[in-house]
Chain A
């Protein structure tokens, strides 16, 4: 039975696509057969973050219309041969497909692949409904900012209303130094507000931008970096392994911060 997981957030720009790319890569490296589905029609980017943009020939639209075979539309990753991408159409809008068609195409992919990660567009309109309809599980991505947390809460409500019960949270772009100074909500704060199980935390890191410049997920290009370890840990937790959370605050435990904390009481 394959796992069909939607990566969604409500708010845009919080890291859904980056997380989809890295988790997919990490799962594939661990020997899983993984298909990434870009559900962001009209604003596709998963191909770009994976560095596969020049290999896109057909998209989900052609596959659904029967203009090509599904296997022809699936772009194989250049590094992991268990990893494929079903690109979204770039010159069509979100109304180009409906939830039934999406469910059908994902159902086809599920015959061959163990994990299907669906990268949802921002928003809660038709594109979002296309992305969540085939899914059995959801990963909610939120940064520790009020707008992102509020939108995440709205999306959690919509997922529950659509019968998706396994909903887990990824807190992205944590800045430990700001949390330390009480200038940013910490993971515990976000968890307390959203009240859903946590599956992982990812620190804010400049290297994520470098990785996107290169079209190389950070788990591939910089496998020893902290964000890469964070993604690998999430992939392992998806597999059911118990992996302790990264201690992002450890690096903040220097002398100056200890003195600052003394003042804070």
Chain B
């Protein structure tokens, strides 16, 4: 009700949405990576990490960020436990 009367009260304004979407797409544009390649990379990284430690594939996060025109690949892989040697 209040938001209809005063649309500018809406917490998600289109200005911040524009910026958020741009930052995401530009990180991908700059790195020259499409979502399929990211997915492939994710699967391969997961495979390598899984050889050494026990992980939950569902919990892994892989994202591209871009700051000051430098793209950065961020992988967040929570480890359940280190595998026993041999």
What is the 8 Å Cβ interface bit string for chain A, positions 180-193, against chain B (1 contact, 0 not)?
01111110010011
What is the 8 Å Cβ interface bit string for chain B, positions 57-72, against chain A (1 contact, 0 not)?
0000000000111000
Selected contact of A146 from candidates B6, B16, B21, B30, CB within 8 Å: B21
Q: A153-B29, A260-B6 are in contact. Are A186 and B15 (CB under 8 A)?
A: yes
What is the 8 Å Cβ interface bit string for chain B, positions 15-37, against chain A (1 contact, 0 not)?
11011011101100110000000
Query: How close is B1's CB to chain A, nearest CB, in angstroms?
Result: 14
Query: How close is A257's CB to chain B, nearest CB, in angstroms?
Result: 10
User: What is the CA–CA distance of A264 and B9 in the complex, to the nearest angstrom?
Assistant: 5
User: What is the CA–CA distance of A102 and B47 in the complex, to the nearest angstrom?
Assistant: 52
Q: A150-B22, A195-B69, A263-B9 are in contact. Are A183 and B14 (CB under 8 A)?
A: yes
User: What is the CA–CA distance of A264 and B14 in the complex, to the nearest angstrom?
Assistant: 14
Q: A182-B8, A260-B8 are in contact. Are A154 and B13 (CB under 8 A)?
A: no
Query: How close is A200's CB to chain B, nearest CB, in angstroms?
Result: 20
B67 CB contacts on chain A under 8 angstroms: 195
What is the 8 Å Cβ interface bit string for chain A, positions 152-175, against chain B (1 contact, 0 not)?
011011000000000000000000
Interface size on A, residues (CB 8 A): 23
User: What is the CA–CA distance of A174 and B8 in the complex, to the nearest angstrom?
Assistant: 18
Q: Does B18 contact A153, Cβ atoms closer than 8 Å?
A: no
In the complex, the chain A residue whose C-beta lies closest to that of B25 is A150
Interface contact tally, CB-CB below 8 A:
53
B69 CB contacts on chain A under 8 angstroms: 156, 195-196
Query: How close is A258's CB to chain B, nearest CB, in angstroms?
Result: 13
Q: Does B15 contact A193, Cβ atoms closer than 8 Å?
A: no
In the complex, the chain A residue whose C-beta lies closest to that of B30 is A157
Q: A146-B21, A260-B8 are in contact. Are A189 and B26 (CB under 8 A)?
A: no
Query: How close is A254's CB to chain B, nearest CB, in angstroms?
Result: 15
Among A157, A182, A189: residue with most chain B CB under 10 A: A182
Q: Does B68 contact A184, Cβ atoms closer than 8 Å?
A: no
B14 CB contacts on chain A under 8 angstroms: 182-184
Q: Does A184 contact B15, Cβ atoms closer than 8 Å?
A: yes
- Whether A105 sits at the interface, judged by CB under 8 Å, is no
Selected contact of B19 from candidates A154, A183, A185, A195, CB within 8 Å: A185
- Whether A179 sits at the interface, judged by CB under 8 Å, is yes
Q: Does B22 contact A149, Cβ atoms closer than 8 Å?
A: yes
A263 CB contacts on chain B under 8 angstroms: 6, 8-9
A-B contact pairs, 14 of them (CB 8 A): A146-B18, A153-B26, A154-B29, A179-B15, A182-B15, A182-B16, A183-B13, A183-B14, A185-B19, A189-B19, A193-B23, A263-B6, A263-B9, A264-B9
A153-B30, A154-B29 are known contacts; what are 7 more A-B pairs with Cβ within 8 Å?
A146-B18, A153-B26, A182-B14, A185-B15, A193-B22, A195-B68, A263-B6
Q: Which residues of A contact B (CB under 8 A)?
A: 145-146, 149-150, 153-154, 156-157, 179, 181-186, 189, 192-193, 195-196, 260, 263-264
Which 10 residue pairs are nearest across A and B when measured between Cβ atoms? Answer: A182-B13, A182-B15, A195-B69, A189-B19, A195-B68, A181-B8, A193-B22, A146-B18, A153-B26, A263-B9
